[in-house]
């Protein structure tokens, strides 16, 4: 079976939990989390929940771990905290939970980002992987970056990712 066959056998709709990591945003001002939710729903996926957490490693880790234990979500997508600033801790919190990393996701995201913003793309620590048979994707906090990742990488492969994680 090739990737075309895998995609054909993949679920058309999956359940996704969206978590925004931010010290400054609220759910009302969270344009990146809202964009993820809207893009998911437009593509026929189900929003299993949406929340916001401060950029504290223990809090981020606890929120993601709770969703890994929750049967409502097959995928967890976070936005925010992937830079190199002193308060950016999503990478450390999430990377430690991953059992299998999808290094190609971060590499492809930075390549696509480089085409749009140049060498500043190297500052992103966007990552993805699998934990407890669920897909975990960590995106930057920028709405533009979120839209780029969702449209070019996440949405085209989301069902396929879930299919493979569940095998």
| Alpha carbon distance, N-terminus to C-terminus of the chain | 14
What mean pLDDT, rounded, does the chain reach?
Answer: 95
In this prediction, what percent of the chain has a pLDDT beyond 90? 90
Cα separation, 50 vs 13, in Å, equals 17
- Distance, C-alpha 93 to centroid of its chain: 13
Q: What is the CA radius of gyration of the chain?
A: 15
Beta-strand runs (E) in 1-74 = 15-21, 46-53
Class of domain 13-165: alpha beta
Angstrom distance (rounded) from CA 36 to CA 79: 9
Structure confidence at residue 16 (pLDDT): 98
Say what the pLDDT of residue 7 is.
78
Strand partners, 20: 52, 79
* Planar angle of CA 91, 10, 108, nearest 5 degrees: 35
6 band by pLDDT with thresholds 50, 70 and 90: confident
**Ranges of each domain in the chain:** 13-165
CB 17 within 8 A of CB 76: yes
32: closest CA among 79, 72, 68? 79
Tens of pLDDT along 97-128? Answer: 999 999 999 999 999 999 999 999 999 999 99
The dihedrals phi and psi of 100, each to the nearest 5 degrees, come to: -135, 130
């Amino acid at each position: 079976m090739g990737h075309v066959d895998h995609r054909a056998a993949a679920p058309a709709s999956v359940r996704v939990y969206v978590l925004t990591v931010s010290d400054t945003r609220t759910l009302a001002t969270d344009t990146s989390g809202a964009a993820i939710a809207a893009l998911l729903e437009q593509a026929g996926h189900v929003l299993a929940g949406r929340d916001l957490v401060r950029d504290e490693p223990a809090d981020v880790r606890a929120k993601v771990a709770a969703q890994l234990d929750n049967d409502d979500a097959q995928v967890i997508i976070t936005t925010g905290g992937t830079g190199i600033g002193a308060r950016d801790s999503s990478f450390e919190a999430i990377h430690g939970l991953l059992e299998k990393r999808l290094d190609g996701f971060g590499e492809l995201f930075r390549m696509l980002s480089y085409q749009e913003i140049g060498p500043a793309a190297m500052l992103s620590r966007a990552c993805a992987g699998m934990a407890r048979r669920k897909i975990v994707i960590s995106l930057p906090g920028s709405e533009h970056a979120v839209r780029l990742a969702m449209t070019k990488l996440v949405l085209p492969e989301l069902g396929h990712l879930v299919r493979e994680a569940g095998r």
